[in-house]
Every structure is written in C-alpha cells, then in structure tokens.
C-alpha cells in the first residue's frame, strides 16, 4: 500500500508512459529542491510536478504550485541539465499532473486511492524557464 503522494506519483508515471514518454528520473534531488518525474519523448524533456489533494474545499491541486516552488523546480532542472549535458539541446518544459479527490483523508494513510472518485489533469507548459524568477 502507498500513501497519497506515492500513489499519485505512481499514477502520473503510468500516465506519462502510456502517453509515449520514457522515464529518465524519479524524485531527482538537488540542493535547490526536488522534481517528482523527469520524462523524455523524442527531443522533449519534461520536468513534472505531481500534486494530489484530498479535498478541493480550499484549493485545487494546481493552485498549490507557488512561485517559490516554480523557482525551486527551475533551479533543480538547471542542476539536472548541468549533470546530464546530453539533454541540454532538448526542448524543456514544466508540466503539472494533478489529482483532486472530493473527500478528506490523511495524506499519510496507506490505501488504494483509486477506489475513491477523483479528477486528474495534466497541464502541459504549466510554467516556463524565467531567468528573472530564478534570480529572485
């Protein structure tokens, strides 16, 4: 059994693979932060943030991606590209894959979340590299 975050990342990975992407890295860490999934298809390299919310009363999952989180992802992506120079000529983008559940449960609870009703959304180009934002 998985907790909500693990379940969401597993589902997002499956969805990406079903869409023809190949997994490059899961949970890539740098001193700046973490990127949940890095996938590649042809000359596209996609950095994916996976978000799952157990209720949408206050905000949907996509609304929780702050400017601060975007900046951390950009810096982490640049770190990845410096380590993996063979990807430097790829078209890079940032996507968000969201899972919004309509009932409340603890994120750390381990269970089969697929039995609960939820909406899923894949937002391509959710944000782009922005030098000014990176330097804030």
93 band by pLDDT with thresholds 50, 70 and 90: very high
Q: What is the mean pLDDT of the chain?
A: 85
Single out the residue of 32, 17, 26, 30 nearest to residue 49, CA to CA. Answer: 26
* Dist. CA 124–CA 91, nearest whole Å: 13
> What is the SS3 assignment for 107?
coil
Q: What is the pLDDT of residues 114-128, one digit of tens each?
A: 666 678 899 999 888
Q: How confident is the model at residue 132 (pLDDT cuts 50, 70, 90)?
A: low
Higher pLDDT, 135 or 11: 11
Q: Look at residues 64, 93, 101 and name the one whose alpha carbon lies nearest to residue 77.
A: 93
With 0-12 CB in 10 A as exposed, 13-18 as middle and 19+ as buried, what is 8? buried
Burial 79-113 (b: 16+ CB within 10 A, else e): bbbeeeeebeeeebbbbbbbbbbeeeeeeeeeeeb
Sequence-separated (6 or more) residues with CB below 8 Å from residue 77: 35, 47, 92, 94, 129
pTM of the model: 0.87
Q: Residue 98: is its pLDDT beyond 60?
A: yes
Task: For residue range 50-69, list pLDDT tens digits in order.
Answer: 998 777 556 566 666 788 88
Do 61 and 19 contact (CB within 8 A), yes or no? Answer: no
- In the three-class reduction of DSSP (H, G, I as helix; E, B as strand; rest coil), residue 108 is classed as coil
CATH class for the region spanning 4-129: alpha beta
Report whether pLDDT(100) > 90. no
């Amino acid at each position: 059994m998985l907790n909500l975050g693990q379940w969401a990342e597993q589902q997002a990975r499956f969805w990406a693979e079903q869409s023809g992407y190949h997994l490059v890295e899961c949970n890539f860490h740098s001193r700046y932060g973490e990127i949940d999934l890095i996938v590649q298809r042809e000359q596209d390299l996609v950095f994916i943030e996976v978000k799952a919310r157990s209720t949408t009363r206050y905000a949907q999952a996509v609304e929780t991606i702050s400017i601060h989180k975007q900046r951390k992802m950009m810096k982490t992506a640049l770190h990845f590209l410096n380590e993996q120079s063979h990807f430097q000529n790829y078209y890079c983008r940032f996507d968000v894959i969201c899972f919004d559940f309509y009932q409340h449960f603890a994120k750390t609870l381990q269970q089969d979340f697929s039995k609960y009703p939820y909406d899923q959304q894949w937002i391509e180009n959710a944000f782009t590299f922005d030098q000014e934002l990176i330097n804030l």
